[in-house]
Structure 1
Amino acid sequence: MKTPIKPGLLLSFGILLALTGARAGAETAAPPATTPTPPPAQDLPLDDLRTFAEVFGRIKADYVEGVQDKALIENAIRGMLSGLDPHSSYLDSEEYRELQVGTKGEFGGLGIEVGQEDGFVKVIAPIDDTPAQRAGLQAGDTIVRIDEKPVKGMNLDDAVKLMRGQPGTKIQLTILRGTDKPPFEVTLERAVIQVASVKSRTLEPGYAYVRLSQFQSHTAEDMLKAIDELKKANDGNLKGLVLDLRNNPGGVLNGAVGVSDAFLTDGLIVYTQGRIKDSRMQFKAGPDDVLNGAPIVVLVNSGSASASEIVAGALQDHKRALVMGSQTFGKGSVQTIVPIDDSRALKLTTARYYTPLGRSIQAQGITPDIMLERGEFKPLAEQNLNALKEANLVRHLSEGAPPEPEAKDKENEKDKKPPLAAEDFQLFEALNMLKGLNRLGLRGNQ
C-alpha cells in the first residue's frame, strides 16, 4: 500500500555520494497553463505481461550464468523507473538508508551532486568544504572517466557506486569543462563529510552575508540563529542581506519553505501539483519578517537547483528580494519517497513545483532580475590599459631605488586580505546593489 505523501518526504533531485566511505507577491496561486488529467482507464496489458514473462524465463534458462529471481525482478523495477525521467529510481536497502542519512547533513564520499546528461555524468554542484569543492570542480563539469573507466553509456547508479569507497582512498576523475578545452584529470581523496549548511559573516558594518550550501531539515533554524548573531554583531541593525544560493543543489522541501518564510509576512511560498490528490499542496508564509523589511539580494547560478529555486522564485515573485547571477538549473519536479517495506522504497516523481505567481520551475529555472556572470577583478594597474603614463613623457625622471620597507610594513603586507572584488566579484556587485537599495529605501526588486 502506498504511503500518503508528507512534506518532509519530498526530496530534491540529485545523487549524493554517500555513506560507508563513498555513499521548496501573490496572495493566491495562479494555475499552471495546463492541468494534468488522469489517463483513461486501460485493461491489464496481458500481451505485454506475457512477453515480460517469456523474457524472464528465457534469461533464466539461457543466460551464460545463473541469475537469481530477485536480481532479475529488481533490475526490471529499476528499468521501469529509470525510463520515466532522470529522477525516479528504485532504492534498495543501502540506497534508502543513504538517502535518509544524507538529508540530515552527514554522509561520506566526495561531496558532489551529480546527474546524467547525454550518457555522461554531469556535476550539478560541489558542496562547500568537501573534496570536490577543494579540488575545484564546478557546476556544469562533465565527468567522462572514473579511474580510467569510460562513463559514456554507464548507468548513473553504477557511476555513483564507482565513485564510492572508504574514507582516505583516492579516486581519479577525468573532467571536461566547456567544448573548446581538452579534458583534464583531478585526483580526490574520499572523506566522511559533515555538511554545515549555513555560513555567515559581516561584509561591512550593517551588511550581512549568509551562505546556504544545501537545504537540510535544520537549515532554516540554523539560518535564523546565524542572522540573530549577525544582528548582535551589528548593534541590532542590519541594513541588508546577501543570501548566497550559488551551487546549492537543493534538499528537503521544508528547509526551503522555512527559509522563504523567514523573510515573507504573508502569501504563498510554493505549491505543487500532480495527478493524485495528495500531491497538490500549498505552503504559505507566516506574519514575521526576520529582517523587518531590510533589502535582500539573492545570488544564484546554474548550480542552484530545486529547493534553491523555490526560495529564489518565492522572494522574487513577492518582490521581497532582487535575484542576481545566472539562470538556475531548472529542477522543478517533486520526488516522493514511497516505501515498499521497512528497507526498500521508490523515489517517484509525483508533481511539479510552481512559484507563487504560477511559474513552473521545471526545465525553465529562475531568471535573475540582473544577469551577472562570474567575473575576474583586476586592479587598474594590472589591466594593461593604453593610457598615457608618466613613463611615456619625454625626459621623465627615473624611478630611483625604492627605500627598503620596515619589517612591520612587510608583516602587514603579508597579512593584508585581497579586496572583496578580487575574492568574489559577484558578491562584490551584490553588496553594491544592496547599498543602493538601502539608500533608496527599497526592499528588493521594486
Structure 2
Amino acid sequence: MSSVISLRLLPALLLSLAISPAALAEQPVSEEISSAPAPLPLRELRNFTEVFERIRSAYVEEVDDTTLLEYAINGMLTSLDPHSAYLQPEAFTDLQENTSGKFGGLGIEVGMEDGLIRVVTPIDDTPAQKAGIQSGDLIVTLDGEAVMGMTLSDAIDRMRGEPGSEITLEVRRKNEKELLSFTLQRAEIKVASVRTETLSGGIGYVRITQFQEKTGPELTAAIETWTHAEEPLNGLILDLRNNPGGVLDAAVEVTDAFIDEGLIVYTEGRAANSELRFSATKQTAARDIPVVVLVNGGSASASEIVAGALQDHKRAVIVGTRSFGKGSVQSVLPITEDSAIKLTTARYFTPNGRSIQAQGIEPDIRVEQSEVKTYENRFYKESDLPGHLKNPEQDDNQASEDSQPDQDGTIGPNELLKQDFQLYEAHTLLRGVTILSPNSGKTSASRSQPEHNEDADTLARSQTAQP
C-alpha cells in the first residue's frame, strides 16, 4: 500500500479553501508495528453493532448503512487528534487536485475551535489578507448563516466558489466588543513562496509565505543576487511569521542554506520506516552572514523545523513570539481508489532532541507586535543656532538631503519598518551586528557560493508540513 508522508498544520480538508499548494508524492509506509496487536475487544464490538442497529431502526430519519459506517470511520479518526481525518472521495480529490498551486478561494488557513472556524493565518496577497482578516479571528457566520453546528468540511465548501464571487464573513476578534464584517471576493490563489527586499544598512529581508518545492532554490538565488552585488550583505532577516508550513524537503533546503554540517530534523514513530533523519550539506549559500528569524503564533510545522534547527545550531537569533507548536507527522494512506485516511504516524524533533508538539519554538528575544511611532524631537541643536560654524566636511545641500526620505528601495526609515515593529526590532539588531563587525557578509559571500545541485531540482517531495 502506498502513502504520502506529510507534516501538515491542519486536516487535509483545509486544502479545499485553496490556500496552500504543497507537493504530493507517493512513498511507501510500512504498516507493520513492532508489537503484536492485542485481541479485538469483543464486548466493545458488540456494543458497536448494537448502537449501529439502534440508529438504523430508531433514528428520527432514515440513514443508509454506508453513511453510518463512514460516520463511524470519521469518528474514530477525528477522536484521535486534530490532524487525523477520513478523506472521503470529494475531500481526497481536493487533496490531490489542490497540490497544483492554483486554487479558487479566500486564502486562509482555518481550523475548528469550540464549534467556530478559527483563522490560523491569512496568506499573503490573497483576498483574506487584503481585507484585513487576522490570525486568531473566529468566523461566526458565512453569508449570514451561523457556522455553529457546521462541520469543518461544510464551512470550507461554503467558503469555496468561483473566482469573482463574493462572500460575507462575520468574525469575532480578541479585544473587539462587536463582530467584524468582511465581504471578500473569491479569487484564484497563487501564493508566492519567497519575497525579498533590501533594507537600509545592507540588510536583506526574505519573507517565506509557505514552503513549496522551489522555495530552497529561490532562497539560494536571492542570496546569490545579494552576495554578488556591489553593496555587501551585512545581515539577513528570515520572516516565517504566519507561515503554516509546506514541503518538508523545502524546509530542509532552507536550513541547509545557513548551516553546512549537522542534523536538521528527525522523526520518530511506531511504523518501521517512520524514523527519518535529515542533515546539512556543504552547499551553503549564507554560511556566516548574521541571521535573524522572525516567528509568531502563526508559524507552524515546517517553519518550526527551520527556526528550531537554526536555534539549536546557534546559527540565528529567533525574534518574535512563541510559534504554533505543530510537531507531528501525518501519513495519507489510500483505502480505495477515491478515499484515504490521514493518520498521525510520527513526531519530529529538532537537532537537540526537542519536540515542538504543543510546545512551539520559544524565541530568543520576545517581541510582541505593535505600531512603530516616531517621537517628535523638539530639542534645538547647534545647527539651529544663528551664525553657527559650518562643518567643513559637510556639503551645503547635505543637511536638506538627509532630511528627505530616499526614493529607492533602501530608504532610511523604511516604510516596511515603520509598519512592522517586530521587523523593526530585527533590523535594529542586525544593524548593531553590522556596526560591530562591518562587511562580515561580504567575506562570507566570497567563500560560500554554492554549486548547483541538480538532484535538489528533481528530488521527489514526499514530505510535507502544511495543509
Q: 1:46 aligned to 2:42?
A: yes
Tell me what 1:122 maps to: 118
Mapping 1:180-329, distance limit 5 Å: 181-204=177-200, 206-232=202-228, 234-235=229-230, 237-329=232-324
RMSD: 3.1
Tell me the residue number matched to 2:91.
95
State how far apart, in whole Å, the 2-side matches of 1:248 and 1:50 are.
46
Q: Name the residue aligned to 1:59.
A: 55
Q: How does 1:40-189 map to 2 (within 5 A)?
A: 41-179=37-175, 181-189=177-185
Asked whether the equivalents of residues 271 and 281 of structure 1 are also in contact (C-alpha less than 8 Å), the reply is yes
SS of 2:39's partner is coil
State the shift of 1:171 in Å.
Answer: 1.4
| Cα distance change on mapping 1:285 and 1:415 into 2, 3 Å | closer
Shift of the alpha carbon at 1:423?
Answer: 2.6
Does the 8 Å contact 1:22/1:165 carry over to 2? Answer: no
- TM-score, normalized by length of structure 2? 0.78
Number of the residue aligned with 2:391:
none
In 2, the alpha carbon distance for the partners of 1:343 and 1:228 equals 44
Identity of aligned residues (%): 51
Q: Measured at CA, do residues 93 and 440 of structure 1 come closer, stay the same or move farther in structure 2, by a change above 3 Å? A: farther
Q: 1:267 and 1:101, CA in 2 relative to 1: closer, same or farther beyond 3 A?
A: farther
SS at match of 1:226: helix
Q: Is the CA contact (8 Å cut-off) linking 1:22 and 1:190 kept in structure 2?
A: no
Contact kept? 1:17, 1:109, Cα under 8 Å: no
Deviates more, 1:216-225 or 1:239-248: 216-225
Q: Is the 8 A contact 2:18 2:107 kept in 1?
A: no
Please identify, of 178-187 and 112-121, the stretch whose mean Cα deviation from structure 2 is larger: 178-187
In structure 2, what residue type is equivalent to 1:257? V
Counterpart-to-counterpart distance in 1, 2:250 and 2:230: 28
Residue 279 of structure 1 aligns to a residue whose secondary structure is coil
Does the aligned pair in 2 maintain the 1:20–1:165 contact within 8 Å? no
Where 1:242 maps in the other structure, the secondary structure is strand
Secondary structure of the structure 2 residue equivalent to 1:277: coil
| Alignment partners' CA distance in 2, 1:435 and 1:414 | 18
- Quick one: distance in 1 between partners of 2:419 and 2:203? 17
Partner Cα distance (1:374, 1:306) in 2? 21
2: distance between equivalents of 1:207 and 1:145?
43
> CA 1:56–1:176 in structure 2 vs 1: closer, same or farther (change >3 Å)?
same
Question: Would the aligned equivalents of 1:263 and 1:288 in 2 still touch at CA under 8 Å?
Answer: no
SS in 1 for 2:148: coil
Deviations 1:145-170 (A, max 9, x none): 22222233532222222222222221
Whether contact under 8 Å (1:17, 1:163) holds in the other structure is no
Q: Quote the Cα distance in structure 2 between the aligned partners of 1:93 and 1:330.
A: 30
- 2:331 is aligned, of 333, 336, 343, to 336
Quote the Cα distance in structure 1 between the aligned partners of 2:346 and 2:19: 30
Matched, 1:378 2:373: yes
Q: 5+ unaligned residues in a row in structure 1: which ranges?
A: 25-36, 390-408
Call closer, same or farther: CA 1:143–1:242 in 2, change over 3 Å: same
> What do residues 208-238 of structure 1 show as CA deviations (whole Å, max 9, x unaligned)?
1111001122221222223233334x33742
- CA distance in 2 between counterparts of 1:18 and 1:305 reads 16
Please list, as runs of the form range in 1=range in 2, the aligned pairs for 1:391-430 lying within 5 A after superposition: 419-430=415-426
The answer on 1:352 being equivalent to 2:347 is yes
Q: 1:441/1:147 Cα in 2 relative to 1: closer, same or farther (>3 Å)?
A: same
**Residue identity matched to 1:244:** D
Alignment-mate amino acid for residue 110 of structure 1: L
Question: Which residues of structure 2 form unaligned runs of 5+?
Answer: 23-32, 381-400, 442-467
State which drifts further: 124-133 or 152-161: 152-161
Kept in 2: contact 1:249–1:304 (CA 8 A):
yes
Normalising to structure 1: TM-score of the pair? 0.82
After TM superposition, give the deviation of residue 329 of structure 1 in Å: 0.8
* Inter-partner Cα distance in structure 2 for 1:441 and 1:53: 72
1-structure distance, mates of 2:18, 2:371: 36
In 1, Cα distance between equivalents of 2:296 and 2:225:
27
Is this contact kept in 1: 2:195–2:206, CA < 8 A?
Answer: yes
Matched residue, 1:400: none
For 1:324, give the aligned amino acid. Answer: V
The total of aligned residue pairs comes to 403
For residue 357 of structure 1, report the CA deviation from its aligned partner. 0.7
Letter matched to residue 304 of structure 1: S
| 149 and 172 in structure 1: CA distance in 2 versus 1, 3 angstrom threshold | same
Q: For each residue in 1:234-275, what CA deviation from the matched residue of structure 2 results, as whole angstroms up to 9, or x when unmatched?
A: 337422111110110111211211111111111110111122
Q: Which amino acid aligns with 1:168?
A: G
CA distance in 1 between counterparts of 2:10 and 2:276 reads 22
For 1:53, give the aligned amino acid: T
Counterpart contact for 2:17–2:156, Cα < 8 Å: no
Q: CA deviation at 1:40?
A: 7.5
